[in-house]
Amino acid sequence: MWNRFLSSAVGTCRRYINVTAVRLDVNFDDSQTESVLWVPRKEGFRIIGKRGETIKDLRMKTNSRITVELDTVEDGQIPVTIKGTAEACADARETIERIRAEFAELQTANSQSGTTVWVPQAQCGLIIGKGGATIKRLTENTGAHIGLDRDQVKDGLVPVTINGPPEICADIKQQIEQLLANESSTTVWVPQTQCGLIIGKGGATIKGLQQATGAYIRVDSSEVKDGFVPVTIKGEVKNCTEAKERIDELLSENLQ
């Protein structure tokens, strides 16, 4: 009899624990809320941050789930979905609004002063630099913004806009002009039959070479002399040297 009583008591406890666990889960789910904030797409990138660092930090500090849907655009705006407890959602929303306000202040400050430098299309790579290193160096710790619009070409020139404090804009403009003045140019004559090695499928190889070295490379297949084609390399001296070395390696590998 005593054994039956113990067995019954244990069974009752188990059922109570299971029911309690279910109730706790239900209460947890019921406490979750969802909030959607619509923001301009450019602000969405600001919320995500470089390599997603900003949004990761936001999620961790507010204990909420935040999703920025860059591909869902309505009237120029995208949804930022926030999920979590009411307190977490409110905290996340407040932080996001603060990020937006800081971004708006920066935009306003940048719009107060600006200048445009028209750069030869062939020299855009010189301003950007290897992996974006040059343009990053120009703007680092200055609070200025440099925009290079390759799609807006006039007479072979591309506009480079500089926004920021007047003295900073003037300094960056001077540095860009100095970069262009110090540009190096060299020509490598390549056998016509090997031009494809440098260009690559769909131009992939030459694009990769330009990105890796920061130099501008052009293969002029229309100008053939004694079976050779000129390959023009432009950029800073060190970038041109690296590009030429890589081209020489490509050609020598094909001969082996």
* Segment 230-243 mean pLDDT: 86
- CATH superfamily, region 114-181: K Homology domain, type 1 (3.30.1370.10)
Give dist(CA 159, CA 118) in Å, integer. 5
Give dist(CA 178, CA 174) in Å, integer. 6
> Is 50 exceeded by the pLDDT of residue 115?
yes
Give dist(CA 35, CA 40) in Å, integer. 17
Q: Is 253 exposed, middle or buried (0-12, 13-18, 19+ CB in 10 A)?
A: exposed
Residue 137 binned pLDDT confidence (cut-offs 50, 70, 90): confident
Fold designation for 184-255: Ribosomal Protein S8; Chain: A, domain 1 (3.30.1370)
Whole-model pTM: value is: 0.40
Q: What is the pLDDT of residues 124-135, one digit of tens each?
A: 887 887 778 888
> Is 70 exceeded by the pLDDT of residue 19?
no
Cβ-based neighbour number of residue 60 at 10 Å: 9
Predicted pLDDT at 256: 56
Q: Is 65 exposed, middle or buried (0-12, 13-18, 19+ CB in 10 A)?
A: middle
Q: Is 184-255 in the same CATH topology as 114-181? A: yes
Cβ-based neighbour number of residue 247 at 10 Å: 23
Q: Calculate the alpha carbon distances from 188 to 19, 238, 239, 240 in Å.
A: 79, 16, 14, 11
Domain 31-110 has CATH 3.30.2320.20: no
Q: What is the pLDDT of residues 54-109, one digit of tens each?
A: 999 999 999 999 999 998 988 889 999 999 999 999 999 999 999 998 888 777 66
Domain boundaries, the chain: 31-110, 114-181, 184-255
